């Protein structure tokens, strides 16, 4: 029995681990990874001698998949310190309002600190607008701007969405990005404020929202691979996928490997190419997924450098520096404040650059990018210390955008793949870009392959 897993990111690594657990040591599992390393967007680098994530840095601990997998693998999970996040809104840095649903408030008071008087008045008037209705899906920005005005979107919703998708409300779809809100409207909530109020718990549960692994998220990949024991083919992409009488042939450069089943765990553009002949409807659906590119500029400052007393700062696209120029960064994470295991020597922080549809600063070379990010940092925090180490990690097409209609598109893709025996699909383009969602798709895809092979 031979299963080929295409793509060695977290989705592929989890799939290989689940397949090994289900199929046992007798099965051959091959992971084909285009680059020279596993992990995909989970990448732990050494910065000033410290293991530091330059891709994903944490995951939602409230969803069961990530925390559950860490426990299953015997990996220690750590949670952020009490430092709060902040947002640069209307030219000043304010604490990030806590009691909102992706920036959508259940009461106007919740967001008062980040809005102007006029912005507050628009938000306060939302419940009095004609009842909200939703036909199919809509761009989140269209709905929110209509109901709350631009300020709430520009100052709060966009910066929050930018942190997850590297995209803003105008390009992201309501149903895929804030499904609970869409469901509340479908159930008849008269306004967005009422819908959010019904969804935001009256009292915070106190349970930590995020978790990470103290050795970096690369540790998760190492452990999965150690247990999955796959054959790994590095350094060349799968370029073609064909059905054979009793299975599959994967083309890798001039070579080919045969397998009984194939699990695709690659980003949407690669999945689109590979599915073109074998599941054309899935291929064209995935071809509709757009991607945002970004870069992480990781810096180690000299020990003792004082960071703000916050876990980080989000920056809206419309915020301007004192010189009138836009910020290059869309967010900073003050990692040595956010994580106590990173508060031990060099002062670590990362600037994130890149928004969907705005290549801007990403076109600069690494030195220039670092200079721009350091200028932003100085403007926001007054920190001008020269870094003792820097790592620039670029993520071209790093994050899929869940536009309006995304759920339909995914349903089309999954339905088409389900009709093809021995083929399964996993990854960030499907049911959430976060690590727990990727783990869930990988687990489901491995289950599908297993039930094909061992009916």
Ligand X SMILES: Cc1cc2nc3c(=O)[nH]c(=O)nc-3n(C[C@H](O)[C@H](O)[C@H](O)COP(=O)(O)OP(=O)(O)OC[C@H]3O[C@@H](n4cnc5c(N)ncnc54)[C@H](O)[C@@H]3O)c2cc1C
Residues that bind ligand X (CB under 6 A): 6-12, 32-35, 40-42, 55-59, 237-238, 265-267, 270, 294, 296, 395, 398-399, 427-428, 433-435, 438
Nearer to ligand X, 93 or 437 (CB): 437
Nearer to ligand X, 106 or 159 (CB): 159
* Distance between CA atoms of residues 104 and 165, nearest Å: 17
| Number of neighbours of residue 45 by Cβ within 10 angstroms | 17
What are 33's strand-pairing partners? 234
Nearer to ligand X, 88 or 350 (CB): 350
Q: Considering the complex, what minimum distance in angstroms separates the CB of residue 190 from ligand X?
A: 33
Give the 3-state secondary structure of residue 28. strand
Q: Considering the complex, what minimum distance in angstroms separates the CB of residue 59 from ligand X?
A: 4
Nearer to ligand X, 293 or 450 (CB): 293
* Contacts of residue 415, Cβ cutoff 8 Å, sequence gap at least 6: 281
For CA atoms 367, 373, 378, 383, give the dihedral sign. negative
Q: Considering the complex, what minimum distance in angstroms separates the CB of residue 270 from ligand X?
A: 4
Contact 11, 438 (CB under 8 A): yes
Nearer to ligand X, 108 or 211 (CB): 211
Q: Considering the complex, what minimum distance in angstroms separates the CB of residue 62 from ligand X?
A: 12
Q: Considering the complex, what minimum distance in angstroms separates the CB of residue 13 from ligand X?
A: 7
Of how many residues is the chain composed?
455
Question: β-strands 261-264, 2-6: how paired?
Answer: parallel
Q: Considering the complex, what minimum distance in angstroms separates the CB of residue 253 from ligand X?
A: 11
DSSP tag of 308: P
Nearer to ligand X, 80 or 108 (CB): 80
Query: Hey, which bits of 54-120 come out as E strands?
Result: 59-60, 85-89, 92-95, 100-101, 104-105
What are 87's strand-pairing partners? 94, 314
């Amino acid at each position: 029995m031979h299963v080929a897993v295409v793509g060695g990111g977290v989705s592929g690594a989890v799939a290989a681990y689940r397949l090994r657990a289900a199929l046992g040591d007798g099965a051959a599992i091959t992971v084909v990874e285009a680059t020279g390393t596993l992990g995909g967007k989970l990448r732990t680098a050494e910065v000033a001698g410290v293991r530091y994530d330059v891709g994903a840095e944490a995951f939602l601990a409230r969803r069961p998949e990530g925390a559950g997998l860490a426990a299953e693998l015997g990996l220690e999970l750590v949670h952020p310190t009490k430092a709060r996040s902040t947002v640069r809104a209307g030219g000043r840095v304010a604490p990030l309002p806590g009691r909102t649903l992706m920036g959508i408030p259940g009461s106007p008071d919740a967001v008062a600190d980040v809005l102007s008087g006029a912005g507050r008045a628009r938000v306060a008037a939302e419940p009095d607008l004609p009842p909200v209705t939703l036909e199919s899906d809509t761009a989140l920005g269209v709905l929110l701007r209509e109901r709350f005005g631009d300020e709430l979107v520009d100052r709060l919703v966009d910066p929050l969405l930018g942190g997850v998708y590297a995209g803003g409300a105008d390009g992201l779809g309501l149903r895929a990005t804030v499904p609970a809100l869409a469901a509340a409207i479908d159930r008849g909530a008269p306004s967005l404020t009422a819908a959010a109020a019904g969804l935001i718990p009256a009292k915070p549960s106190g349970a930590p929202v995020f978790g990470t692994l103290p050795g970096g998220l690369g540790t998760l990949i190492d452990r999965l691979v150690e247990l999955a024991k796959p054959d790994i083919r590095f350094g060349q992409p799968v370029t073609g996928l064909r059905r054979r009488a009793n299975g599959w042939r994967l083309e890798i450069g001039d070579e080919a490997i045969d397998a009984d089943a194939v699990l695709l765990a690659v980003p949407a553009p690669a999945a689109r190419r590979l599915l073109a002949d074998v599941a054309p409807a899935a291929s064209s659906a995935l071809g509709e997924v757009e991607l945002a590119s970004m870069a992480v500029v990781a810096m180690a400052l000299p020990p003792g450098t004082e960071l703000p007393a916050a876990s980080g700062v989000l920056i809206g696209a419309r915020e301007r520096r004192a010189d009138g120029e836009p910020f290059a960064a869309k967010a900073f994470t003050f990692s040595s404040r956010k994580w106590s295991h990173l508060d031990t020597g060099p002062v670590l922080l990362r600037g994130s650059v890149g928004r969907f549809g705005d290549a801007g600063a990403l076109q600069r070379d690494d030195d220039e990018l670092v200079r721009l990010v350091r200028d932003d940092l100085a403007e926001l925090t007054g920190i001008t210390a020269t870094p003792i180490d820097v790592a620039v990690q670029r993520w071209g097409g790093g994050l899929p955008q869940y536009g309006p209609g995304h759920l339909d598109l995914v349903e089309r893709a999954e339905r088409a793949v389900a009709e093809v025996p021995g083929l399964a699909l996993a990854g960030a383009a499907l049911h959430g870009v976060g690590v727990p969602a990727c783990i869930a798709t990988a687990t489901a895809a491995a289950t599908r392959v297993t039930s094909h092979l061992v009916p």
